[in-house]
Amino acid sequence: MKSSLYLTATVSPGNKIEIQNPHLVEGQTVEIIIIFPQQIPPNSNQKQSISLEERQAFLKLPLAERRRILENQAETMVSYHQQNTDWQEIMTDDIIEY
């Protein structure tokens, strides 16, 4: 059975990704799968990122309103992940946390 290690990385200048892990053996051949993030198209009332002021305004909302907003966001994410099952393909092997 293959074991897996899930990492995220930032692409460096020159379109390079560097991976360091104490469990990698020099000269060892490993399989690497790169998954490009798929952007969820924003709804007309949603933005991709919010400012600090918008975050602080959210925290000032009544608890019930914050819960309603978060519930709507969670439902959107569940729907997205049920429709797009690409993420399940990488979850078939054992995951080892280091």
Domains: count for the chain:
1
Report whether 98 contacts 20 (CB < 8 A): no
Alpha helices (H) in 1-98, listed in sequence order: 52-60, 63-83, 86-89
Q: Which residue has the tokens 């608890």?
A: 63
Domain holding 44, by residue range, is: 3-95
Quote the DSSP letter at residue 23: T
- Over residues 45-96, the pLDDT tens digits come to 555 677 888 888 888 888 888 898 899 888 888 888 788 777 666 666 666 6
Position 29 pLDDT exceeds 70: yes
The verdict on pTM exceeding 0.75 is: no
Q: State the Cα–Cα distance between residues 24 and 96, nearest whole angstrom.
A: 13
pLDDT of residue 40: 52
